[in-house]
């Protein structure tokens, strides 16, 4: 892609501003799917460079994903920030993605994308869900009366044996 001096200067300023961030920041041409700008973190994590197709870099595909949100960003609710969670199977990470159409050189619009890495949070969330399931299974299968009370004496939880023996219900 041939750029003017002002475009090159602007991209240089973007690099100065965005290369130190931990978030992945990139700009995509919605018609060609070419990456116009990518900060250092995007290049480090995804391995992509300016000029490459976003669907190849992010998904390892030869054509855009059917679920690509260009229609939403450029037609559905134009000008709004669109947030979504996305699992990039190619690199094995979860991201909170923020997409927005922005004005660009040549009287056109492009898509600004910011990806915040959620992988650690997703792993913690999954570990917590598994722990809760193990705890619940253990408590329900126990041959002991197990219950919890709030500081005001309200019954917060009861296992099956507690309900059977006492006839109590939660929040009594």
Average pLDDT of 137-155?
A: 88
**Site of tokens 């949070």:** 121
Average pLDDT for 134-144: 88
Q: What is the C-alpha to C-alpha distance for residues 19 and 22, in angstroms, rounded to an integer?
A: 8
Query: φ and ψ at 24, to 5 degrees?
Result: -85, 125
pLDDT tens, residue by residue, 18-35:
999 999 999 999 999 999
Whether this prediction's pTM lies above 0.85 is answered by no
Give pLDDT, residue 120.
93
3-state SS assignment for residue 9:
helix
Mean pLDDT, rounded, of the chain? 90
> Which strand (E) or helix (H) includes residue 167?
none
- Domains of the chain in start order, with CATH, are 5-121 (3.30.450.20), 142-172 (no CATH)
User: What are the tens digits of pLDDT across the range 62-117?
Assistant: 999 888 888 888 886 778 899 999 898 888 999 999 999 999 988 899 999 999 99
Question: Per-residue pLDDT for 172 more than 60?
Answer: no
Q: How far is CA 23 from the centre of its chain?
A: 11
């Amino acid at each position: 892609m041939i750029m003017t001096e002002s475009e090159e200067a602007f991209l240089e300023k973007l690099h100065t501003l965005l290369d130190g961030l931990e978030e992945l920041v990139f700009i995509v041409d919605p018609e060609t799917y070419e990456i116009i700008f990518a900060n250092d973190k995007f290049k480090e994590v995804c391995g992509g460079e300016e000029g490459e197709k976003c669907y190849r870099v992010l998904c390892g595909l030869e054509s855009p994903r059917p679920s690509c949100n260009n229609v939403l960003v450029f037609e559905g609710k134009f000008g709004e920030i669109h947030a979504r969670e996305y699992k990039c199977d190619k690199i094995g990470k979860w991201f909170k993605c923020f997409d927005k159409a922005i004005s660009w050189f040549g009287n056109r619009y492009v898509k600004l994308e910011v990806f915040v890495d959620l992988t650690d949070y997703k792993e913690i969330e999954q570990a917590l869900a598994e722990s809760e399931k193990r705890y619940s299974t253990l408590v329900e299968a126990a041959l002991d009366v197990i219950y919890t009370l709030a500081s005001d004496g309200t019954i917060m939880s009861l296992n099956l044996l507690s309900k059977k023996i006492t006839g109590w219900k939660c929040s009594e």
